[in-house]
Amino acid sequence: MCKVQKSSITLLLLTMTLFLFLFTHTSIAQEKLSKDFNFDSFSLGEEATQDIIGCSKEFNYKNISYYFTLPSTNHTFTTYAQGFSGHGRKKLSSVNLHLWSGFDNFTDTSGQGIELIIYDYIPSVGPGAELLRIQVPAIDLKYAPDTTSIDVSSYNLYFENTFYYIGFTVVNQLVDTIAILSDDGSGVLSSSYSLVYGDQDGDGIYTWYYLNDIYGTNYKFLIDAIYCYEPTTVRVPEDYSTIQEAVDSAFSYDTILVNDGIYSGPGNGNIEIINKSLVFKSVNGPEFTLLDGSDYPASGFIFKKAFGHSLLLPGEVDGFSFKHMSGAIVGEYTHSLTIKNSVFYLNHSYTNNPASYKRGVIACGGIDLLIENCTISSSIINADEGMIAITGGNPTIRNTIISNYSQGTTVLSFPGASVYPDFTIENSNFYSSLSSTEWNNDIIHLANVNGNISEDPLFCGDTTWDFHINEMSFCNATHPLNSTGIRIGYYGVGCSGCDDTDSDGICDVNDNCLSTYNPLQTDGDLDGEGDACDTCPNDPDNDADGDGVCADVDNCPTIYNPLQTDNDNDTIGDDCDNCMTAYNPDQSDIDLDGIGDSCDVCTDSDNDGFGDPGFPNNTCPEDNCTSIYNPDQLDSDSDGIGDVCDGCYDTDGDGFGNPGYTNPLCDDDNCPDTYNPEQADSNLDGIGDACCCIGIRGNIDGVTGELIDISDLIAMVDYMFINDITFCPNEIDVNSDGAIDISDLVYLVAYMFQGGPAPVNCP
C-alpha cells in the first residue's frame, strides 16, 4: 500500500544534532594523549611479563603494555626514555622498539636512524651516567606491527633490583633535554594520562608535565626489555639447611641439589614452589635421599602459582624417596611436571585440594605430567582416591610400577575444562593385590599394549620396603615376557628364586596355569587363566550358564540350554530367541516388549495401543506420537502429529502457532484463525492485519463497537497528513481498492456528509 509523503524536517534536525555530537566527542578523544591503548593486540600477550625458556619480557608502567604518545617536534625534547626495574641474576638481553606509523618523522631527521641509550639511575633525580650507546641505522628500523629488536646481550648488563632507563635519540643529536616517561611512583600520578618528567626549557630544573598539556600526537612508541636468567645450583644442606629455604632464595630455572640424608620436619615438608621453575635433584638417588613425613604430617613438594598469574612454569623432581606424605608431589593447576627416578611408599593421598580436585599420592591438575622410571607402591588410599590423581592435561607414565594399594584405583582422572586427561602409558606395570581397578575406564584401552602389564612385580622385600625386583619378575628387562626389553620401575634386580610348580620359568605367583607348562603365558580371552589350561580359551566368563557350551559358540550364552535348539536357524537358541518362528538374528525389539519386531503385531514404543509407523507386521492403528503415551490420539490442528508432541499447534496452517499452546518450534500467531504467514501488524497491537478489521470498514480510531463518526475522520486525516499514526490498514482502505490514498478520504466524507455509499465490509 502507498501513503501520502510527509515532511522530513524533524529527521533532518535529528541527523544534524547526532552528527555534531559525534564530531565534538571524536575531537575530544583525539586530544587526549592517553596511555590507554593496549598493545596486546600486537601479540604481546595477556601478561606483561612472560617467561619463555628462561627469559622474560617487561614493559614500563607497572608492566602494563600501554603505548606512549610523544610531544610534537616544536618542543625542546630531543631524547625520550622509559624507566625499568632491574632483576637480580637476570641479564638484559635485548631491547624491543615498537614504533608506530609516522615515527620516521622523528627517527630519520638525520637520515642515519637513532641511537639507543641506557642510563644509570640517580635517586630523586633521574637518569645518570650513560652505560651504553648503540647506533641503529635507519634501514634497520621497523614500524608497527613489526618490531625493531636490538641485541645487547654481549654487553653483560645486570641491574641487581635497581632502577635504570632505556632511551633513544636521533643520530648526532645534541642531547640538550630529555623526556622521561615514568610511572614508578614519582611525580604527579593521579591522572590516567602519560606524564613527562624533563628539563623542558633547558634550565636544569626537571618538572613533571602532562603530555596532554604539551600538545602534539605525532609519535607513538613502546619499549620493552628482555631479560634472561643465568641458572645456578643451590645446595642443601651446604647452602641452606632446609629445602624450603633453598626454594625461597632460588630463582626460576635454578637447580636445588639435595645431598644424602633423611629430610623431615618444618622446611622439609609442605615445600611450596610459587611461580618458580625449579629442578629438584638428589646427589645420589632415592636410596640415599628420603623426604619423611612420619613426625611431621605434611605434603612433599607443592607447586603453585600466585593469584592472577597465568604462566605455566615447568618443574622437575629427580631422585627422591617419599614416605608418610599426604600427597608426595602436588601441582595445583600451575606447572608442567616431570617426576623421574623416584620411589614412593607408605604415603596417603593429598587431602587439601578443593572439592573440584581429585586426590592422590601424586595429585596434579590441568598441566602436562611426565612420570618416568618410578616405583609407587604400598600406600593407603580411600575408595574415591587414586595413587595418581590428574585433572585435565596430557599426562605420560613410562617405565613405572604402581602397585599394592588398599582401595581406590591406580590412576584417578577428572575433567579439566570439561576435558578428561589424554593419557600416554608405556612399559608400565599397574598391579594391586587387593583391588581390581588397575585400569579404569579412562585408561582401559591402554591395558596390555605398549608393553603395559598387570602382574605382581615380585619385590624382594614387601615388608622391608625393598623395592628391588626378583630376576623372575616381568618387570626385569631380560625377562622373556618383557616385550620392550626395558626395565619397569626404579630399582633393578636384587634377588632370585621362587616357587615354580610346572617348571616353566614363571613364578607361581604370576603363573596363569600353575600345573601346566606354558612359558608364553598366552591368555586369549584375558580372563587370567592361561589358554593351556582354560576350558573356554575364547570365553572370559568360562561358560557362565554352565550348560557345557562355551559362550563363543553357545547360541544362548546366558541361559542353560545344552541341546542348543534353534528352530528358525537364526543362530539364536530357542530358549532366548524373542521370535522363534521367524529368522531374526539381530533380535530387534524396538518397543522392548520381549517380542521381536519380526513377529510383533503391534510394535508400540510408548505402549499406548497405537503402533510405531514403518513396521509392516502391525495390525494396530498407527500412532501420531510414538515417543509419548497418548491413547486418545488427539490432533486438534489435524496435521498428523498428536497434540502431546506437536511442536507447533497451528490450526490455520501458516507456520505460526495458536496462542495458549506450548509451541517450541514456532512463534505465536497474531491471527490464529486466518492464514497469514507474513504476520503483518501495522499498528503493533498484537493483532495481525489479516484479522484486525471487523465488520464494516471505517472504524479507524480503533474504538471497539463504535459507529463511524467524526473521530474516525480525524484519525484518517491525522494518519495521512500529520503524525503518521498507524491504524489497522483495512479500516483506512474504506473503498477496498488495496491502496490508502486521497480517494479513501473522499469516499468517507461522501458517506458521512453527502449520503454516499457505505464503506465496504472487511474480508
Regarding whether 461 and 367 lie in a shared domain, the answer is yes
According to DSSP, residue 691 is labeled G
Share of the chain above pLDDT 90, in %: 26
Regarding whether 125 and 238 lie in a shared domain, the answer is no
Last residue of a domain, one of 441, 475, 495: 495
Q: Dig out the grid coordinates for 206 from the structure.
A: 626537571
Amino acid at position 38, single letter? N
Q: Average pLDDT for residues 266-281, to the nearest whole number?
A: 92
Q: What is the pLDDT of residue 703?
A: 73
Regarding whether 287 and 205 lie in a shared domain, the answer is no
Regarding whether 276 and 141 lie in a shared domain, the answer is no
Q: Identify whether 570 is part of a domain.
A: no
By the 10 Å C-beta count (0-12 exposed, 13-18 middle, 19+ buried), 535 is classed as: exposed
Amino acid at position 535, single letter? T
Does residue 145 have a cis bond before it (omega within 30 degrees)?
yes
Last residue of a domain, one of 449, 475, 495: 495
| Residue 142 confidence (pLDDT) above 80 | yes
- Residue whose grid cell is 600345573: 515
Q: What is the pLDDT of residue 336?
A: 81
- Residue whose grid cell is 620359568: 505
More confident site: 612 or 219: 612
- Distance, CA of 100 to CA of 81 (rounded, Å): 16
Q: Average pLDDT for residues 182-204, to the nearest whole number?
A: 46
Q: Average pLDDT for residues 298-307, to the nearest whole number?
A: 82
Q: What is the pLDDT of residue 174?
A: 64
Q: Average pLDDT for residues 427-433, to the nearest whole number?
A: 89
Nearest to 114 by CA among 137, 93, 95, 97: 137
More confident site: 733 or 179: 733
What's the chain's length in residues? 763
Q: What is the pLDDT of residue 87?
A: 67
More confident site: 13 or 125: 125
**29 Cβ contact partners less than 8 Å away, ≥ 6 residues apart:** none
Q: Are the beta carbons of 530 and 516 closer than 8 angstroms?
A: yes
More confident site: 73 or 20: 73
Q: Are the beta carbons of 299 and 326 closer than 8 angstroms?
A: yes
Q: Average pLDDT for residues 170-179, to the nearest whole number?
A: 69
Q: Identify whether 637 is part of a domain.
A: no
Nearest to 425 by CA among 391, 404, 386, 394: 394
Q: Which helix (H) or strand (E) holds 247?
A: helix 243-249
Q: Identify whether 614 is part of a domain.
A: no
Residue 589 phi/psi, 5-degree rounding, is -150, 80
Last residue of a domain, one of 203, 229, 255: 229
Q: What is the pLDDT of residue 502?
A: 85
More confident site: 147 or 102: 147
Q: Average pLDDT for residues 98-126, to the nearest whole number?
A: 74
Regarding whether 438 and 319 lie in a shared domain, the answer is yes
Q: Identify whether 181 is part of a domain.
A: yes
Regarding whether 306 and 276 lie in a shared domain, the answer is yes
Q: What is the pLDDT of residue 739?
A: 85
Give the chain's domain count: 3
Q: What is the pLDDT of residue 408?
A: 83
Band (pLDDT 50/70/90 cuts) for residue 694 is: confident
Q: Average pLDDT for residues 601-612, to the nearest whole number?
A: 90
Q: Average pLDDT for residues 48-58, to the nearest whole number?
A: 52
Q: List, as one string, the DSSP characters of 89-129.
A: TEEEEEEEEEE-TTTHHHHTSSSS-EEEEEEEEETTTEEEE
Among 193-197, 416-420, 658-662, top mean pLDDT goes to: 658-662
Q: Are the beta carbons of 438 and 430 closer than 8 angstroms?
A: yes
Q: What is the pLDDT of residue 8?
A: 34
Q: What is the pLDDT of residue 106?
A: 64
User: Which of 298-312, 325-339, 505-519, 521-535 has the weakest average pLDDT?
Assistant: 298-312
Each residue of 315-351: pLDDT tens digit? 999 999 999 999 999 987 656 899 999 999 999 888 7
Regarding whether 163 and 273 lie in a shared domain, the answer is no
Residue 281 phi/psi, 5-degree rounding, is -135, 135
Regarding whether 302 and 318 lie in a shared domain, the answer is yes
Among 1-15, 405-419, 562-576, 655-669, top mean pLDDT goes to: 562-576
According to DSSP, residue 465 is labeled T
Other CB atoms within 10 Å distance of the CB of residue 726: 14
- Distance, CA of 330 to CA of 257 (rounded, Å): 20
Q: Dig out the grid coordinates for 716 from the structure.
A: 484518517
Q: Identify whether 657 is part of a domain.
A: no
Nearest to 300 by CA among 357, 364, 237, 238: 364
Domain that holds residue 400: 233-495
Q: What is the pLDDT of residue 636?
A: 77
Q: Average pLDDT for residues 398-416, to the nearest whole number?
A: 86
Regarding whether 255 and 111 lie in a shared domain, the answer is no
Band (pLDDT 50/70/90 cuts) for residue 417 is: low
Q: Which helix (H) or strand (E) holds 747?
A: helix 742-753
Q: Identify whether 268 is part of a domain.
A: yes
Q: Average pLDDT for residues 163-170, to the nearest whole number?
A: 83
Q: Identify whether 134 is part of a domain.
A: yes
Band (pLDDT 50/70/90 cuts) for residue 565 is: very high
Q: Identify whether 79 is part of a domain.
A: yes
Q: Dig out the grid coordinates for 756 from the structure.
A: 454516499
Q: What is the CATH number of the domain that holds 715?
A: 1.10.1330.10
Q: Strand 114-122 relative to strand 126-136: parallel, antiparallel, unpaired? A: antiparallel
pTM of the model: 0.54
Regarding whether 399 and 435 lie in a shared domain, the answer is yes
Band (pLDDT 50/70/90 cuts) for residue 652 is: confident
Q: Are the beta carbons of 346 and 324 closer than 8 angstroms?
A: yes
Q: What is the pLDDT of residue 76?
A: 62
Q: What is the CATH number of the domain that holds 135?
A: 2.60.120
Regarding whether 260 and 199 lie in a shared domain, the answer is no
**602 Cβ contact partners less than 8 Å away, ≥ 6 residues apart:** 609, 611, 618, 619, 620
Band (pLDDT 50/70/90 cuts) for residue 109 is: low
Regarding whether 252 and 188 lie in a shared domain, the answer is no
Q: Average pLDDT for residues 125-138, to the nearest whole number?
A: 84
Band (pLDDT 50/70/90 cuts) for residue 289 is: very high
User: Which of 420-434, 618-632, 721-735 has the weakest average pLDDT?
Assistant: 721-735
Q: Average pLDDT for residues 145-165, to the nearest whole number?
A: 83
More confident site: 191 or 313: 313
By the 10 Å C-beta count (0-12 exposed, 13-18 middle, 19+ buried), 139 is classed as: exposed
| Residue 311 confidence (pLDDT) above 60 | no
Q: Are the beta carbons of 394 and 418 closer than 8 angstroms?
A: no
Give, to the nearest 10 degrees, the angle between helix 742-753 and helix 710-717. Answer: 160
